[in-house]
Structure 1
Amino acid sequence: MSGHAPKGRRKGGHEEEHENHERWLVSYADMITVLMALFIVLFAISQVDQQKYVELKQSLAAGFGDASQSVAVLDGNPDVLDAVSALTEQEASGSSDLVSADEGLGQQGTNVIDPQPQPTTDAEEALVAAARAEAGHLEEIRDEIRTQLQSQGLDAFVKFRIDERGLVMGLIANDVFFAPARAELTPTAHQVLDAAAPTLVGLQEQIAIEGHANVLPAGSRYATNWELSADRATQVLRHLVERDGMPGRRISAIGYGDARPIAQGLDDASLAANRRVDLVVLSGAPETVRELLTSVSDG
């Protein structure tokens, strides 16, 4: 038997058409394009410009060749035109209350309403009350010493002030208390200390004596102004302890040299002002109270 060759495909036959399963992408892309165009239009109409609106209307009229139709299309919604007119009137009147959509978003972070002042707490009120009470106590001490000085005509030689340390009694009066480059107390200095001593001795607070010098050389007797200022403070301390009965445990002396001047310059008045001793009644109040003393005292 002779075999027959298998029949081949028919010449000119077509293969089965391949089905396109991704045709939906075309429709999806078209939808995305339409949405993008919609958002662009929405963004554009959120910022209405009257001049550009008129130009657009005239351009459409010229493009369509029929001004009446183009105007009808643009004028078809009276509400929109009313809004445009209102916008134009507010812009012309200089109103700043109306902003565009994106400007409004930007101003949300900048136009922040100032917070209302917080009410004073009980703790703060108690702190201020304590500071006022301490300041009143120091003022009583000052007034008592001032009265004693006035009775002897010595009040002009002493300057008082209240700061975060307590009551400062400044012994400043040209050469009344100390001669240049000297630490010996003058007779007037003895009288001032004796007048203030009864009040100072009767206190419970610690007393700090702070010596100062001006910028001139200390002279041959002292190596530097540190030694000179410390000696001045020590002389005041010794007078109060040895002659006026101040307990030694309640008083101390320190020298600051010329590091803390109260007057600048090399004139006679400035040099004399810095040649001084400060007698400080140290406040025993807590630091948070002492920080308020300057603001609540009468000086």
Structure 2
Amino acid sequence: MSAPSRRRKRPEEPEEHVNHERWLVTYADMLTLLMVLFIIMFAMSQVSEDKYEALKSGLAVGFGGQQSVLNGASSVLEDDLSEYGTELVSSAAFRGMPADQQKMVLSALDSEEKRRIQATYAEAEAEAKRLEAVRDQLMAALRRAGLEKDVRTTIDDRGLVVSLVSRHVVFQPDIAQLSPRGQRVVDALAPVLLDVPNDLRIDGHTNQEPVKPRLFATDWDLSAARAVTVLRRLNERDDIPKRRLSLSAFGHERPLIDPDTPGSQEINKRVDIVVLPQTSVEATQLIDEVLSARPGGQGEEG
């Protein structure tokens, strides 16, 4: 008789393998989150640059661009316009835009910025009118002395520029001393300049003759000496206070008219008396624009 049936032995289950690398999953998740965090932080650090690019793209409309954020993402522009408002409207890009596009840009400015821009334009307009009045007084004084043809005047973002041109021999060639006629010109201008509160800058210039001055090391020295001559006469003889006077020397670098024009050398050899504006930097930069926007433009005298 067969032996009692034996119980079948269950096959031994393999021992469960312990995963000792499970921590890598958590570690990888943490690295992923850190990477996402750094990407977000990097993106946030680029916001200003992106908005600047958006602003620049918007201004491209003024130069014939085909696509502009002004037609859509106005919210992106608003922050930049409030920050750059005054600088924007005084820029060449803004002035080159069609009127309807300018209105779109201005409409994005907040009311406070609009008021600031309007105040800046009003300041520039008032200073331009005041400088024009000073120019009229100066020209009237010169006409009374029969010397109105000895100067040229213009108003721009430097202020009122009164150029003592050498057509009537204000300065002899290579000489820094005023001629008797040049002295009369300066003395005729001085009473009006004394009465205005503006500071004055005296700019010396030479002509573009490619020769070394006989009595000076360079044309820079000659232009500086000419500016000093006029400055000293205004102060020592005509009693304009020293605190209102300064000078600059430009050599031959800033001709008044094209050096190729016949007779230009007699005009480019000169001293400029600049009546400096009494306005903020932003308003000063707009004076030339305010005058140019008038019918017929700014114009010159002399």
TM-score, normalised to structure 1, is 0.59
Q: Does 1:214 align with 2:202?
A: no
Q: Does 1:276 align with 2:264?
A: no
Letter in 1 for 2:154: R
Distance 1:144 1:245 in 2: 19
Conserved? CA contact 1:218–1:228, under 8 Å: no
Q: Does 1:202 align with 2:190?
A: no
Q: Out of 100, 118, 124, which is 2:106 matched to?
A: 118
Determine what percentage of the aligned residue pairs are the same residue: 36
Distance 1:162 1:261 in 2: 16
2:27 is matched with none
How big is each residue's C-alpha offset from its partner over 1:218-249, in whole Å with a ceiling of 9 and x where there is no partner? 43211110111011111111111111111112
RMSD (CA atoms): 2.7
Distance 1:157 1:195 in 2: 11
Match of 1:223, SS state, is coil
Matched ranges for 1:236-255 at <5 A: 236-255=230-249
Which has a greater percent of helix? 2
How big is each residue's C-alpha offset from its partner over 1:171-192, in whole Å with a ceiling of 9 and x where there is no partner? 1142421111111211221111
Give the unaligned 5+ runs of structure 1. 4-108
Match of 1:170, SS state, is strand
What's the CA shift for 1:255?
Answer: 1.5
Q: Does 1:229 align with 2:223?
A: yes
The number of equivalent residue pairs is 196
1:286 is matched with 280
Distance 1:202 1:147 in 2: 15
Distance 2:258 2:178 in 1: 24
Distance 1:209 1:263 in 2: 19
How big is each residue's C-alpha offset from its partner over 1:20-42, in whole Å with a ceiling of 9 and x where there is no partner? xxxxxxxxxxxxxxxxxxxxxxx
Conserved? CA contact 2:204–2:250, under 8 Å: yes
Matched ranges for 1:92-103 at <5 A: none
Matched ranges for 1:3-18 at <5 A: none
Letter in 1 for 2:289: S
Distance 1:118 1:201 in 2: 41
Match of 2:186, SS state, is helix
What's the CA shift for 1:203?
Answer: 2.1
What's the CA shift for 1:266?
Answer: 5.1
2:135 is matched with 142
How big is each residue's C-alpha offset from its partner over 1:256-299, in whole Å with a ceiling of 9 and x where there is no partner? 11121223335651211210111001112110000110122363
Conserved? CA contact 2:258–2:264, under 8 Å: yes
Distance 1:262 1:152 in 2: 24
Distance 1:246 1:138 in 2: 18
Letter in 1 for 2:267: A
Q: Does 1:191 align with 2:184?
A: yes
Distance 1:225 1:266 in 2: 19
Distance 2:148 2:121 in 1: 31
